Structure 1
Amino acid sequence: MKEQNLEQKYNKWIIAVSIIIPVAVAFLFGVKLKDFGYNVEPLSFLPRIYATTNGVTAILLIAAVIAIKNGNRRLHKSLMTSAIALSVAFLVMYVAYHMTSDSTKFGGEGIIKYVYYFILVTHVILSIIIIPLVLITYVRAWAQVFNKHKKIARITFPIWLYVAVTGVVVYLMISPYYVR
């Protein structure tokens, strides 16, 4: 009963955060600091870093699954907490980059253009969907409701892994078109 109360206590926060983050990112994506008179240099070095952050997140997610399958809860918890921290760091860098730089247009043509946009669109949609899934999964583990945690983790893991991996793929596909 205590665990369920803890989970219910955080449901409102999970809903709020799951709405606020995408709305804030969408809003800030359109904000350019130069339009407000700030003379800031574009943070053009960030895409490489946040793509790496996505790659490391993917590795941590896989390592966390291996750790829990081997019965190492402590390592699993540390790896998952690190993956969440890296995802937050990615988000901060992503917003900072777009507030200081113009968006890069994909320059590929033909079928590769459709492949790129398919990957990009699915990445963006799933990156929004993954927010509440990660938060619910984390809260269930924290509340020690492991049967429910395991159930949702089976949904959360592949989606989060897809978002992390496609973040790297999107970067690799668009990187030739960044203005240097």
Structure 2
Amino acid sequence: MNSSEPFTIDLLKDISLGKAIAVILLISAISFTFLIWLIYFKGGSDYESTLITSLPALNALLNSASAVLLLFGYRAIRNRNFSKHMKFNLTAFVTSTFFLISYVIYHNFHGSTSFTGEGFVRPIYFFILISHIILSALVMPLILTSFYLAFSGKLKLHRKVSKVTLPVWLYVSVTGVAVFFLLRMYS
């Protein structure tokens, strides 16, 4: 593929925008509902291991990698290098997917983590956490929609959606790392 040509998947061209958005919203709603149940209602198990306790650090690393890859992808598209842009963004998607898998495994065994910090840091932490949670619910359908639009050849709409997707995805990735460090420092 020439770096100045976009890449499309013929199968996605045959799926209407409405059907694609409906499937994306369904997958996103089921995923978010599952995560809320897993973290806040299921509770953790009694199983502990070094591997499980090291997953939050891995999650922070994966979120950091996603953020860096997104910035490289942004730079590539600004330089009109579609091939690099696609590779960086797909790799960011893979690191975010590995993050999600690791996050589910961790919370399956651990449950939720309480923040014990006091004073001025407490409202800062909860502002970051709450905004992170709200935007993480929005980022999955935005990411999936951006990929659908790009790979189905709907590039004008892809550009419009991606102008929202990129900052939200970056914010969720960066604040995920911030939540990790705040929990480590104050819990």
Q: Common fold, TM-score beyond 0.5?
A: yes
> Following superposition of structure 1 onto structure 2, how do residues 125-140 of structure 1 map, counting pairs within 5 Å?
125-140=134-149
Pick the aligned partner of 1:119 from 120, 128, 148.
Answer: 128
Q: Percent identity?
A: 34
> Following superposition of structure 1 onto structure 2, how do residues 142-153 of structure 1 map, counting pairs within 5 Å?
142-153=151-162
Q: Does 1:12 align with 2:22?
A: yes
Aligned with 2:53: secondary structure?
coil
Aligned with 1:44: secondary structure?
helix
Contact 1:61 1:83 in 2 (8 A): yes
Contact 1:104 1:177 in 2 (8 A): no
What corresponds to 2:101 in structure 1?
92
Aligned with 2:42: secondary structure?
coil
2-side partners of 1:117 and 1:176: how far apart?
14
Contact 1:6 1:143 in 2 (8 A): no
Pick the aligned partner of 2:48 from 37, 41, 52.
Answer: 41
Aligned with 1:60: secondary structure?
helix
Pick the aligned partner of 1:174 from 176, 180, 183.
Answer: 183
Provide TM-score, normalisation by structure 1. 0.89
Contact 2:38 2:111 in 1 (8 A): no
Q: Does 1:26 align with 2:36?
A: yes
Residues 87-107 of structure 1, C-alpha deviations (whole Å, 9 max, x = no match): 111111111111112432212
Structure 1's unaligned 5+ residue stretches are none
Contact 2:44 2:111 in 1 (8 A): no
2-side partners of 1:100 and 1:141: how far apart?
37
The residue identity in structure 2 corresponding to 1:145 is K
Aligned with 1:75: secondary structure?
helix
> Following superposition of structure 1 onto structure 2, how do residues 76-87 of structure 1 map, counting pairs within 5 Å?
76-87=85-96
Contact 1:123 1:162 in 2 (8 A): yes
**CA displacement at 1:4 relative to structure 2:** 7.3
**CA displacement at 1:109 relative to structure 2:** 1.1
Structure 2's unaligned 5+ residue stretches are 1-11
1-side partners of 2:32 and 2:112: how far apart?
18
